[in-house]
């Protein structure tokens, strides 16, 4: 299934960077903190949306990517 990208490049980079930070946090605190599980789940979701360029939640509210001329 093909999705129309609805994330600009700057936001994709920001999502991947935040996901890497969350996944590193989850790796180092796994088993010691319940926040690590949440960080891992959110980090995985952010890295997937950042790499694909499509966010289902943004699509649900009608967000579209503005085409540059």
Instruction: Give tens-digit pLDDT for 4-55.
Output: 888 899 999 999 999 999 999 999 999 888 889 999 999 999 999 999 999 9
What's the number of domains the chain is made of? 1
Q: Is 61 domain-assigned?
A: no
Q: Tell me the two tokens of residue 58.
A: 């943004």
Q: Is 68 domain-assigned?
A: no
Q: What is the pTM of this model?
A: 0.82
Structural domain of residue 43, as residue ranges? 9-53
Q: What does the radius of gyration of the chain's CA atoms come to, in whole angstroms?
A: 14
Q: Tell me the two tokens of residue 52.
A: 């694909």
The burial of 62, by beta-carbon neighbours within 10 Å (0-12 exposed, 13-18 middle, 19 or more buried), is given as: exposed
Q: Is 63 domain-assigned?
A: no
Q: Is 4 domain-assigned?
A: no
Residues contacting 46, CB < 8 A, separation 6+: 15, 16, 18, 19, 22
């Amino acid at each position: 299934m093909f999705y129309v990208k609805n994330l600009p490049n700057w936001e994709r980079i920001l999502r991947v960077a935040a996901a890497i930070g969350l996944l590193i946090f989850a790796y180092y605190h796994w088993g010691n903190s319940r926040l690590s599980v949440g960080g891992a789940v959110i980090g995985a979701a952010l890295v997937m949306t950042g790499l694909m360029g499509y966010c289902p939640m943004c699509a649900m509210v009608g967000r579209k990517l503005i085409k540059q001329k």
